[in-house]
Amino acid sequence: MLLIKIETVTSGFKGENMNRKFIALLILLSLFCLTCVSAQDFDNSTVDSSSIPEDNNKLKASVEPEDNIASPESENILANSKVSSDSSSAFLVLDNDADKENIHVGDYVTWILSVDNYGPDNAKNVKVHNQLPEGMKYIKHNTTKGTFNPKTGIWKIGTVLKDTQEYLFITALAITTGEKINKANLTTDSINLNNKTFEEEEIDVLENEENSEKHIVASNTLKSTGNPIYLVLLSLFGCLMAYVKRH
């Protein structure tokens, strides 16, 4: 159709004027073709978003945060690993002993408490709760480390270094007889690898020997003095019977 129009137009031109008009028409056709090609390229460029730098930047920004976002499981793993790395662990051994097994009322006994740390780390904020048995009166105490409160029975040791041992000596007076059990319990802020944290020690308190000896002497005295009185009474009764027979 375009060729028909071109032939119709060119048929009306004559001589030089015809040539000029033909050249002008060719120029117009060339410009029209260039315009169509540019428009098509522009449409293609809008469809292909990969050729736009801004779109690349947006795509990159949307991908990088997803790679950096941690899942809840990974956060828990990191939290647990941090706690385990900051937590100390130690194998603590509590011992509760007495310097005597059998005593009498009025005697003294010394309870010996000790804490051993076999590692692998230092044990933090170590405490021992000691409970004296009834019938035992607190007298004094000594420690190799920390402080002891006789009213509460709490021995605050603090940090027990690896491969070390700490002691508490409590001296008490026996007031009553019977079985006496001293109880001790250990606590720490570190992870204790030893599940056994409770220890008790038992002793027997007997009756005072001096009171027993006095009781025995008194009983023997009464028995020895009882026999002469019986003989005297028997003699008097015999004399009375003889007097009655005579009269």
- pLDDT of amino acid 52: 41
Residue 78 pLDDT > 70: no
Examine the pLDDT at 13 and tell me if it is beyond 60: no
Quick one: average pLDDT of 198-206? 97
More confident: 33 or 139: 139
Instruction: State residue 235's pLDDT score.
Output: 65
Q: Which residue has 């020690």 as its token pair?
A: 201
Looking up tokens 């009322």 gives 105
CA distance 95 to 185: 10
The reported pLDDT for the residue numbered 23 is 72
Q: Could you tell me which residues come within 8 angstroms of residue 103 by beta carbon, excluding any fewer than 6 positions away?
A: 109, 174, 203, 204, 205, 206
Instruction: Supply the pLDDT for residue 31.
Output: 66
- Give the mean pLDDT of 104-127: 97
pLDDT digits (tens, 9 = 90+) for 133-156: 999 999 999 999 999 999 999 999
Cα 147 from chain centroid?
22
Residue 196 CB contacts under 8 Å (≥ 6 apart), including other chains: 93, 94
Q: What is the dihedral of CA 220, 221, 227, 228, to 10 degrees?
A: 160
pTM of the model: 0.53
Domain boundaries, the chain: 89-209
Report the pLDDT value the prediction gives residue 93, as an integer from 0 to 100: 98
CA–CA dist 115, 126 (Å, integer) = 9
CATH topology of domain 89-209: Immunoglobulin-like (2.60.40)
